[in-house]
Amino acid sequence: MTYSRILGTGSFLPARTMTNADLESLVDTTATWILERTGIEKRHLVSDGETCCDLAEAAARNALDAAGLAPTDLDLIIVATTTPDQFFPSTACLLQQRLGVRGCAAFDLQAVCTGFVYALGVADQFIRTGSAQRALVVGAETLSRITDWTDRGTCVLFGDGAGAVVLEAATEPGIISTHLHADGAYKDLLQVPGGLGNGHPELQFMQMKGNEVFRVAVTTLGRIVDETLEANGLSKSDIDWLIPHQANIRIIQATARKLDLPMERVVVTVADHGNTSAASIPLAFDRAVRDGRIRRGELLLMEAFGGGFTWGSVLVRY
Ligand code: COA
């Protein structure tokens, strides 16, 4: 039996930051309101000319260094993003060119904030079936470019960044199970309505019914935790670390309560970068690996929820 094992992690945040106090001069809000309702203190934003591929490349190179591999060792590149630099080529192909490699499969995957979880699930299938031996999985976003900076209901929440992992085929897990779901009936609650043939400028930004999203997210993430534990015959106390999508501290706390996990066993980075969509889990994961909290052999539960709606989880023996 072949499994995929995580060899290395990496991440990158753009240098420019915007604090909650900075947002007070843009929209009718207060730094205290943002912190209390979301747990966010600041977000990182790309500068003019800085691209999603720039962020992806920096995170990817960090992850390759940590894995002790060269780009030429890869036979699969997946970039989870909702904010690609171009309609095409995919950000994964742009990244492949930057990394100086040719020939291996490279494609983008779009599942909004669940994108990294979906991408890990897909890469894991490639490796389990023998179609790939070493995969680079990146979550990279420039959400600031689809943010309406006059809408206080959304602009306080999102930020830019990238995270990455390198996977390799192994005889033991590694990734134990992945659980991916979607329900397009919720398409109107969180969306960028514009698209080809519907390209009015005012439709090119995120729209969200925040409190409805919040309610569905909390119940859905509770269910995915149960599903993951049941599928593997595990109990809550078996989980060493929860690495949740970093959207809102209150959603994270609700999932931690569901798992009876103290917050010390939950990786929380939302204060530093807000909701970076597909980048948020690998950003948090990399932080906790590099600061020594997460150690080899520990059992990790990653979970995410996003537009679509999409949701999913990955159970990993690190
Ligand atoms: N500053 C100040 N007040 C704000 C505000 C802001 N940035 N944004 C909204 N408000 C106001 C609302 O207008 C509303 O005012 P009203 O009572 O006078 O109508 C009040 O705060 C409460 O709004 P509500 O939307 O019910 O707040 P909330 O407690 O649900 O918090 C969110 C709003 C957006 C923080 C919260 O709903 C949330 O995090 N939702 C999930 C978002 C998310 O994670 N999306 C991505 C999923 S991947």
Q: Which residues of the chain have pLDDT under 70?
A: 199
Q: DSSP character for 236?
A: G
Ligand 1 atom nearest to CA at 304:
48
Question: What are the tokens at 270?
Answer: 């939302």
Give residue 102's pLDDT: 97
Instruction: Give domain limits for the chain.
Output: 3-172, 176-317
Give residue 281's pLDDT: 98
Question: What are the tokens at 178?
Answer: 């992945």
Give residue 69's pLDDT: 98
Q: Which residues line ligand 1 (CB under 6 A)?
A: 29, 33-34, 37-38, 113, 152-153, 156, 208, 210-211, 213-214, 217, 247-248, 275, 305-306
> Is it true that the peptide bond before 309 is cis, omega within 30 degrees of 0?
yes
Give residue 130's pLDDT: 97
For residue 86, give the 3-state DSSP assignment.
coil
pLDDT tens-digit series, residues 219-277: 999 999 999 999 999 999 999 999 999 999 999 999 999 999 999 999 999 999 999 99
- The span from the CA of 92 to the CA of 179, in Å, is 23
**Contact assessment for residue 305 and residue 221, using Cβ atoms and an 8 Å cutoff:** yes
The pTM for the full model equals 0.97
Q: Which percentage of the chain shows pLDDT scores above 70?
A: 100
- Catalytic residue at 113? yes
Nearest Cα residue to atom 11 of ligand 1: 153
Classify domain 3-172 at the CATH topology level. Peroxisomal Thiolase; Chain A, domain 1 (3.40.47)
- The span from the CA of 201 to the CA of 149, in Å, is 14
Question: What are the tokens at 76?
Answer: 């699969």
Give residue 252's pLDDT: 97
Ligand 1 atom nearest to CA at 156:
7
- CATH classification of 176-317 is 3.40.47.10, yes or no? yes
Give residue 217's pLDDT: 97
Question: What are the tokens at 218?
Answer: 């909390």
